[in-house]
Structures are given as structure tokens and as C-alpha cells.
Amino acid sequence: MKRMRHILVILCAVCLTGCYSHRAIGYLQEPTKTNKLPQYDSVPYEPYRIRVNDEIIYRLITLDETISKTLAANNTVSNGQYANSYRVYSDGTVDLPFLPPVHIAGLTEQEAQDTIRAAFREIIPDADVKMVLYNKYFSVVGDARAGRYYIYKEKMNIFQALAMTGDVMNSGDRRHIRIIRPRDGAQEPEILEFDMRTNSIIDSKYYYIYPNDVIYVARTKDSFYKVPTYTGFLGLITSSVALLTTVLNYVATLYR
């Protein structure tokens, strides 16, 4: 019985090391003496600026029936929405019907909309334009629900983005989240690596998600030994104790 107690203590200790702790997966933690989390500086939010190869869609509003009918005939789908997207070329311009090339690379969505509206008003005095970025998506790969997701609001942050995936899996390495982000005029993308457990991530350069971002969540090296839920943990203990008891009883019968 004494030997059995020792084995049970060792087994419980091993099982406890297989649980996911708040320290490993909790968000917005404050640094302590035992939990030395990185501290990130706050930086002002920068709105997204249109890049080469981005695509836009727009709607032209005018009382000129001839132009309205022409656009409607060539640029609508069954639900009446304008369907064609227009790509930003390598020189930073976009080709739109009735207009010479319009330079919009480096502009925010609002600035690009104002620029296109001003260009149309040179030939259509009452023109109004509503424009949005067509490729307003980010992607997720790794230990989260992989996929491409739509950025539905300005200033979407990393927590809102990952919430759309159902959150990072317990086996995901929250200490080394990576964002792969295209850079203007560079072939190599920027790779931002950060620990999203720390509360200092708020308003840091890692906090906001932009179009074309790829969020990569690596798997922790020790995830193979971890139990994802407390139910699984209790089941592991129960089955292990039952197996150990059976083995010990069998061994005891051999020496009677």
C-alpha cells in the first residue's frame, strides 16, 4: 500500500503538468516577479493605406441617366450591386470608366474616395462616389480555425480577429504569435512576432489588424503531453488509477 501511495503521488504530479494553466493561455496578464511578460510601447493608430495590387469597388451616383444606365448595364449583378473590382497597378493608378488613370496608392480609403469623386466631378458636376477596399481580408493559419476573414470595422484588433476564428486553440503558442504583413516597395514581407498574453499589447504596434495580414499561430512544443479540458484531465486520472489498481492487484495475486 505504501508503494501504491508513492506511485499515485507521482502519477498525479505528472498529470498536473499536463494541464493548460492561465499563465500559459490567459490574456491581458500583468507582469509579475515569476511571470516576466514583455512590455510593449503604445503607438498611435495608423489607418491602412492603399497598396499596389489592392482592389477597390465603387458606386457612382449621378442624375445623368445616360451614364447611370451605361454603368448599370456593364457593372451590376442580379442583386443590383456593382460587381467589378479595379486593381491598383504598379504605378499606383487605377483605371475607371470615363476617367484617365487615377493615382490612389498611398492614400487611405477616405482620401481615395475623395480623389475619385473629384476626378468624376470634372466631367459630371453632380457626381458622388462611394468607394471601399475590395480585398479587406486577413488570413489565419496554424492552431486556430484557418481561413480568410473579412475586416468588418476600422481599428479591428488582434482579439477581435482571433475571436472570429473561435480563439486560439489551447495548444497554440500565445507567446510567439506572428503577423506576416506586406510592405510597400519590398519583396520581403514584415514579420511581427509578439506575446499576446501581456496586457501591454493593447495599443501597441501588434494590436491592430490590416488588410492582407496573415496571422500565424504555431503549436507549442509540449502540446502533445497536455490535456485540453478538465473533463479530459479527470478522465485521464480516473483511467490511470483504474489501470494502476488493476496492475497492482494482478501483481499481488502472483506473490500470494
What is d(CA 124, CA 64) in angstroms, rounded to the nearest whole number?
8
Note the pLDDT of residue 181: 96
pLDDT at 225: 46
> What pLDDT is stored for residue 184 in this prediction?
79
pLDDT at residue 66, as a whole number: 79
Q: How far apart are CA 90 and CA 52, in angstroms?
A: 6
pLDDT at site 80: 46
Q: What CA–CA distance (Å, rounded) separates 128 from 124?
A: 9
Residue with cell 484531465: 233
Over residues 63-100, the pLDDT tens digits come to 987 777 776 666 554 444 445 899 999 999 999 988 99
- The three grid cell numbers given for residue 114, joined into one nine-digit string: 475623395
Angle at CA 176, nearest 5°, toward 165 and 41? 100
Q: What is the mean pLDDT of each run of 10 residues along the chain (256 residues)?
A: 53 53 86 88 96 94 80 55 80 94 97 97 93 96 94 95 93 95 86 96 96 95 53 57 62 65
DSSP symbols for 12-81? HHHHHTTBPPHHHH-SSBPP-SSS----------------TT-EEEEEEE-S-HHHHHHHHHHSB-TTS-
Residue from 145, 160, 157, 109 nearest 217 by CA: 145
Report pLDDT for 236. Answer: 53
Whether the Cβ atoms of residue 60 and residue 71 lie closer than 8 Å to each other: yes
